[in-house]
């Protein structure tokens, strides 16, 4: 979308940090996208981090992150990234809280959803990967395939999965 000066506004990216998120994966979208510029030096992406309620999120490493936003930024994000998670119900029994599943389904209607590694468990638990090809970290691929047989999974060593086109 062009801005008043005739330039396009940056692509809006929201990183949704969930409980037990992989801390370093929260920063990857900013590393990959946040510094991208066009030939004139204009930033191509604006990357922001959110938690569901805007509060601290306990990481899988045992410390907390404090995102600057709550999940309301997903309403305007063009791309939403789910970093990997570890040891949550999405990985143990293939479920996520109904509120999270509903949020992700609503978001998928208007935005691209992408996961990093085990974040695919969250997208699959929300039903967003049924009938779609997906991948997760090779170590967790057998559990992923067992929990989500409706998803065509392919193991890799590092992965990005998209739930929308």
Over the stretch 41-91, which tens digit does the pLDDT of each residue have? 999 999 999 999 999 999 999 999 999 999 999 999 999 999 999 989 999
Strand partners, 47: 13
Q: What's the pLDDT at 136?
A: 87
Q: Give SS3 for 78.
A: coil
CA distance 160 to 37: 22
CA distance 123 to 151: 11
The answer to whether domain 11-119 has CATH 3.40.50.360 is no
Q: Give SS3 for 145.
A: helix
Q: Give SS3 for 110.
A: coil
79 in Cβ contact with 107 (< 8 Å): no
21 in Cβ contact with 57 (< 8 Å): yes
Query: pLDDT, tens digit, for every residue of 129-138?
Result: 998 888 888 8
The answer on pLDDT for 157 being more than 90 is: no
């Amino acid at each position: 979308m062009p801005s008043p000066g005739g330039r396009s506004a940056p692509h809006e990216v929201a990183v949704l940090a969930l409980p037990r998120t992989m801390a370093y994966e929260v920063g990857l979208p900013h590393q990959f996208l946040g510094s991208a510029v066009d030939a004139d030096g204009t930033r191509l992406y604006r990357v922001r981090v959110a938690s569901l309620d805007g509060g601290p999120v306990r990481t899988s490493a045992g410390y907390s992150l404090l995102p600057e936003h709550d999940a309301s930024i997903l309403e305007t994000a063009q791309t939403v990234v789910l970093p990997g998670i570890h040891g949550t119900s999405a990985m143990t029994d293939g479920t996520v809280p109904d509120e999270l599943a509903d949020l992700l389904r609503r978001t998928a209607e208007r935005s691209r959803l992408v996961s990093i590694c085990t974040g695919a468990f969250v997208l699959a638990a929300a039903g967003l990967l049924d009938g779609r090809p997906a991948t997760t970290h090779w170590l967790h691929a057998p559990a992923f395939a067992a929990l989500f047989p409706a998803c065509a999974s392919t193991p890799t060593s590092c992965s990005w999965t998209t739930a929308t086109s």
